[in-house]
Amino acid sequence: MSKPTMPTNSHAINNDTTVESSTEEDSVDISQLRTPNKVDLSAVYGFLGARTTPDWVAAAIADLPLIIQDHANCEKKAAGTAMNLLFRYEFSYDLQRKLAQLIREEMLHYEQVLGIMNERGQEWRYLSAGRYAKGMLKHKRTYEPAAMIDVLIIGAFIEARSCERFAALAERIDDERLAKYYRYLLKSESRHFEDYLALAQSLSTEAIDERVAFFREVEAALITSPDTELRFHSGPPA
């Protein structure tokens, strides 16, 4: 399959919105991480179509080991998705640079969460994939570059939802060390959704607002409707 060509448009990727450099926060030991005093999440809340329900938060707190491991799975999958895009779209230096930064940061977070699991004496167990990502991907268009634009928009919603849920959990869990780590993640996760949107727009010759609005409704329905499986991105318990 031939690789799609890069459209020429005025929506170039802004190099000022790159992900955080690993030179400052590259420690696998979460005790060495600096937690920001406050992160403005208004853009995240404004981007999402619905907030996490109290029922999900209560269920997540009741089974933190599952949530922690599924969080690790999410970081690994995010890195894998970015790696796939890195190989498929080799025509743009800016695109390659931003994807490489995303991969590095997601894998660092994955390693940090593995460390948390080890500290807690938590065994790795089999967890099936939830409905969340599949529920959005089934609406992905089938032709390029529209398919990849949709994948990137979906990635933006996944990142924004992750950020919103880290904030919700950090406010409620008793494990202060874990809460501190979730607060630390807010800074990078609150920026990732904008990175994905910028990448999506860079591939399109037209505004992507209509597709963003479409996936906002799909994502909100998945988050607010009853779910039979508890996962980091699941809906409230059925």
Structural domains counted in the chain: 1
Instruction: Name the pLDDT band for 31 (thresholds 50, 70, 90).
Output: low
Q: Is 36 a residue whose pLDDT tops 70?
A: no
78 in Cβ contact with 106 (< 8 Å): yes
pLDDT tens-digit readout, 90-127: 777 877 888 899 999 999 999 999 999 999 999 999 99
Determine, yes or no, domain membership for 14.
no
66 in Cβ contact with 127 (< 8 Å): yes
Determine, yes or no, domain membership for 166.
yes
127 in Cβ contact with 73 (< 8 Å): yes
Q: What is the pLDDT of residue 26?
A: 53
Residues found in the chain: 238
Determine, yes or no, domain membership for 16.
no
Instruction: Name the pLDDT band for 37 (thresholds 50, 70, 90).
Output: low
234 in Cβ contact with 57 (< 8 Å): no
Determine, yes or no, domain membership for 8.
no
| CATH number for the domain harbouring residue 90 | 1.20.1260.10
Determine, yes or no, domain membership for 84.
yes
pLDDT tens-digit readout, 65-82: 999 999 999 999 999 988
State CA 170 to chain mean position distance.
Answer: 17
Determine, yes or no, domain membership for 153.
yes
Determine, yes or no, domain membership for 37.
no
Residue reference for tokens 């080890």: 118
Range 123-148 average pLDDT: 94
pTM over 0.75: yes
Q: 138: Cβ–Cβ under 8 A, 6 or more apart, which residues?
A: none
Pair of tokens at residue 65: 């080991």
Q: 106: Cβ–Cβ under 8 A, 6 or more apart, which residues?
A: 75, 76, 78, 79, 82
Determine, yes or no, domain membership for 68.
yes
Distance CA 181, CA 15 (A): 27
154 in Cβ contact with 85 (< 8 Å): no
**Which ranges in the chain belong to alpha helices (H)?**
42-47, 54-62, 64-88, 93-119, 132-137, 146-170, 176-202, 209-224
Domain of 160 in residue numbering reads as 58-123+134-224
